[in-house]
Amino acid sequence: MKKDHDLKTDAFLIKRIPSESVEDHGCIRVDNIPINEPAIVAFGGELTNSDRRANSYAKMLETLFKENNITKISIYSVVYSFKTHDTKAERNALFLKAQQKLIEIQENNTPNYVNTLFNILLYPRITNSLGKRLTIEEAIKRIRLIKFYAHCHGAATIWQMSNLMYEKMLYLGYKKTEIQKIQKNLLVIQHSPIAPMNSFKFTTLSFASAEDTMTNKNNTLSEYLYENSGDIVPSFFAEPYGNIFIAGKLKETSFQEHDHRGLLKTDEKYGALTQDGEIIFNAERNALINSANQSIQGGELPSIEKIVSGSGVDFKELKSNGDFLIKVMQKDLSQQILKPDYQK
């Protein structure tokens, strides 16, 4: 199999613009994001290989923000160019690294498209015009202005970018404690992530269905959650279990659990939500709205409870449910391991 540097994977960025032109679909390609503007970047699934597909994610975010009177944030979306690159093999390698806690990623092992996105989105936020490191205060100020939204493979892209950023910052002369503080000021909101749910460097909130067959068997407890989805009430599992908001089933229609659509008033045409699904999507919607307002207004990132607070969400109940389910799962799994016929 050819290595990624032979395949020359790549990535591009589109931006939502006011437009009545049918040809541009309300988006244009851009080479950078101004470091002083509030912005959100969408990382779609691996099939986001055209401007039009990337634009669908950007348009969804734009519509959500307009529904909530948010206009002072720029919206971008990633276009992938994978060619014959095997994204599934790429993700499998990430899960193996995460399980072995091999968080240091060599640049030559990082796909080219991840390097490209890092150079566009993050490098200008940790360096000055001469390529030198910034003060920690300036780096945090720049990082807080940008937010990431991911679906499916987009989460794997961001996970790799975070590790690459860590290595680059060490090279630039940042201390490990400084890097951690800076990276935790970047908020990631991801739906149905196919990526490791540990070793997060950015502040990351995930929203998912226990019945999502695409994410099953990839992370700690995911197989248990899938097999017991009928018993999974809306819950929040804090770190080290992934900062994930999850319920047994999000959609009334089968085979739609991986679908990210459900945030907008018009999304019912893509499948009605279950009552539990409404709670999870409410939390995700609140997170996007509150994080956009934080980028616009400035200041520190709020707590996870405040990020998801709003209509239709009782965070304390979700956390209580999650804490209880973790204890049940740990007990069940320990009993399975003790069985004579247990096979790992």
Predicted confidence (pLDDT) per residue in 210-236, tens digit: 999 887 556 667 888 888 999 999 999
Edge-to-edge strands, sheet with 74-81: 27-30, 10-16, 74-81, 39-43, 146-151, 187-191, 203-209, 244-247, 235-237
CA distance 230 to 235: 13
* DSSP assigned state of 339: S
Q: Flag the least confident range among 5-9, 65-69, 330-334.
A: 5-9
Q: Where are the domains of the chain?
A: 4-338
For residues 129-135, give the mean pLDDT.
97
Query: In this predicted model, what pLDDT tens digit does every residue of 292-309 receive, in sequence order?
Result: 999 999 999 999 999 999
How many C-beta atoms lie closer than 10 Å to residue 176's C-beta? 10
Q: Is the predicted pLDDT of residue 186 greater than 80, yes or no?
A: yes
- Whole-number Å distance between alpha carbons of 315 and 207: 14
The DSSP letter of residue 82 is -
Residue the block writes with tokens 């939390």 = 283
Phi and psi, residue 291, nearest 5°? -70, -35
Question: What is the model's pLDDT at position 218?
Answer: 66
